[in-house]
Every structure is written in C-alpha cells, then in structure tokens.
Structure 1
Amino acid sequence: MKWYADRPVRFTRQLIADLLAVGWVGLWIWVATTVHDWVLELRAPGDGLVSAGGSIRDAFTNAAGKARGVPFVGEDLAGALGNGSKAGETLTNAGNAQIGVVQDSAFWLAAALVVVPVLFLLITWLPIRLRYARKAANTASLRGMPDLLALRALTSLSPRELGKFDGDPAVAWRTGDTDVIDELARRQLASVGVRA
C-alpha cells in the first residue's frame, strides 16, 4: 500500500489530515482523563462515610471490649455496644458502595469519551485513507504499462480533463499514438499523486 502521495501538495494535505486525526484522538484521550479525574472527586463523600464508619465501629468495639469487664451487666452492655459496631460497619459498606459507583461511572464515562470519537474517526477518515492507499499502490504498480494507465485514464479522468486533449484521446489511444498514451498515463498517475 502507498500511504502518501509523491506530489508535495497532496502529500502535505494527507500529512496534515493524518496529524489532525492523531490530534483528534489525543484531544479526546485528554478530555476523557480530565473528566475521569473530575468524576473521581465525587468519591469524597464515600471516603468520608468509610472513615466515619470505621471510627464508629472501632469506638464501639473498644467500648464493648471494656464493658465486658463491668461486673454483672458487662456481657449485656458489651452486646448492646456491639450493635453500634454493626452501625459503623453499615456506614463503611455504604461508603464503599458509593465509591464503587463513582469509580465505575468515571471509568465508563472516560471510555465513552474516547471510544465514540475514535469510532467516528475510524468510520470517516480511515476508509478514505485506505481507499487512497490501495488506489495509489495499484496505479503505481502500472508505471511500466503506459497503455493500461492510459486506458484507466480514459475511464476515470473527468470529461473536462479529457476535453483538454487535441482531438479524441480514445481514438488516439486505439491508434497507438504514443504521445497521447504517455500523456494519459502521466495524468492518471498524477490523479492519485504518483510521479511518472
């Protein structure tokens, strides 16, 4: 495959288009990582719940441990304080769930912000580039066959281009006029940006 034209103007346009495509992907990766970081900041309340729940759980667990030493009512008091430990655990679980939702949301939003624009680029830009690469490579492979290039030019050049010839280029091609054949071949090569 021939990815770039030999002619400077077309080569420059292709290179700029390719650089813009790479820039487009880079821009959306930057946007996605920035949005990902912003969304992750929303996990602060979940972190607070985990911290508070852990503190409550630890406080009630320590209190229950000390309450066991109280004569007569120690076990009952430790059991009641154990319920406070469960409340702290519930807060910790709620915080972890909120953190998980925020992290999942941040990931999937960032993924969508990259995948959708890149798919758009692949659907629009990539087929054009592949079509050019195949056409240019196929045309360049015919460089040593001016008759075939001239025939291709007769079928693919615009009527305006063909009208620039003195006389009918198809008749000249059929009669073997080498000047017209060479000019048709040169124009066919030039139409895809390939040097003769």
Structure 2
Amino acid sequence: MLLVDFLDLLERNLHSINEDEMPRVHDALRAMLGACIRPTSDRLAEARDLTGIMQKERVRAAIRRNIASVRLGSAMLCREVGVSRTHLYRIFENEGGVSHYILRIRLRTAFAQICEADAAVSVTTIAAACGFPDVSTFSRSFRREFGMTPTEVRIAANNGLRMELRRKAEPVGDSTPLVQWLKRL
C-alpha cells in the first residue's frame, strides 16, 4: 500500500520537481521499490524516511476525507490507516499532536470556506461541515487561531479584502513533504 501511495504522490507532484532533482527521485523510487519487493534491514533503513513521509501523507489524506466527522480522532485514524496509536502520535509529534493537527486543519478548511462562500451559507453550516457541532466552540477556536471571529472574516472577504491565514498553512503544491524531502537529499 505504501508503494501505491508513493507512486500516486509522486505522480501528483512530478510537475514541481525540476530536472536537477530527478536523480534523487530515481534513488527514492529505487529505495521504495527495494524495501517493498525484497525487504531487508538495509533496504528498510534506506527507505525509512520515505516510508515515514508516506505514512504521514496517508494519515493527512484520511483526515481530509473525514474532516466533517465529529468522530475524527486518533482511534479512527489508527483503524483507517493501520498504524498503532503510539506510531500515530510519533508521526505528529512535531505538529503539536494529532488532535492539535486535526483542529488546525479543520479551522483552516473553515477559514477558506468562509472566505469563498456567499452569505447564503451560514457560519454554523460551515462549522458543522468542518466537524464542529457546537458553533460557540468553533468561534472561540477560530478566534484563538486567527485573531478574528468567523463573522469578521466573512465581512472582510465580502468587502473584497483578500484574507490570508496568519500561520503556516498545510503543505500543498510543491511544498508537500515528499518534495521537501527530495529537495533536502
């Protein structure tokens, strides 16, 4: 499964990898194939960083798929991705933990939807679609994360102000963990 996920992620990000980085892509592909087809301790060690990145990407994809579910949490992710709770916590150790990461992604998703949605879509509806059944908890978390209430963001966006996230956003495009990893090689 990791190999399939790696190939899929590589295909999605190939456009952002320049010619100079292609030898590293080749080496990464060789390491991943070797670890998956004939896993020896040397091959697994060679692919360890890459398999860690792929596991994190699988968890991130599961979070995106289940963002509206109020049951989204470490237990659901462990079942869906097939990792232990300890390993899941280790994967998100640098992100402030799994729960914190999920909360940030939910809030960023809500932020984007509030900026894009017209006034016909209520903040309550957007909050529920991002996994917040209680709008007051959502509003407090939103203000703590962005320094503005959801309503203030909507008013600013509706008045033509370009709203941007204050903190580091979720990696997208050429800043996916795979591309970052390849560029560090």
TM-score (norm 2): 0.29
TM-score (norm 1): 0.28
* Largest Rg, 1 or 2: 1
Structure with larger RCO (C-alpha < 8 A, sep 6+): 1
